[in-house]
Amino acid sequence: MSSKQEHYIIYGFNIPYADFFKEAGKSYDNDDDAEDNIYDRIYECEDRGIGHVIVVVDGMCGEYVYVGYCANYAGQYETYNFSIPEVNPVWNDDINTLIEAFGVEELTKSQSPTWHIFQHSS
């Protein structure tokens, strides 16, 4: 099994994986259905790329879920630009809309969005 390294700069939230799936799965009757459906919805958001609100999930180790505005991205062999833009207030509305769509508002209501720079294996 091989993996590729991707790098992200995201303005938003880092939510623990288990908490995200537990909260997002409350609207489903069956845990297996919940996970499958949640992953289907995540994949719709994952590849939107720079300039969009995205979801990045650690499906290998189950440690994190990032939900937020993707300010920058670089694939395994791409040059990474570490410039961080000014926060646009519209991003907060877009991020909150996505968080509400997954039903995980309770996990972020005591936090404010912040910048996250991380490496992700996929």
Residue 29 clears pLDDT 60, i.e. is over it: yes
Question: pLDDT tens, 51-73?
Answer: 888 888 888 888 999 999 999 88
Other CB atoms closer than 10 Å to residue 45's CB: what's the count?
Answer: 17
Give 112's contacts (C-beta < 8 A, 6+ positions apart).
none
Residue 93 clears pLDDT 60, i.e. is over it: yes
Give the best-scoring range by mean pLDDT among 29-33, 43-47, 73-77, 117-121: 117-121
Residue 102 identity: F
pLDDT category, 75, cuts 50, 70, 90?
Answer: confident
pLDDT for the residue numbered 2: 60
pLDDT for the residue numbered 31: 63
pTM of the model: 0.85
For tokens 């189950």, the residue is: 62
Closest to 101 (Cα-Cα) out of 38, 46, 59, 16: 38
Residue 5 clears pLDDT 80, i.e. is over it: yes
Average pLDDT of the residues in 34-48: 71
Residue 12 clears pLDDT 90, i.e. is over it: yes
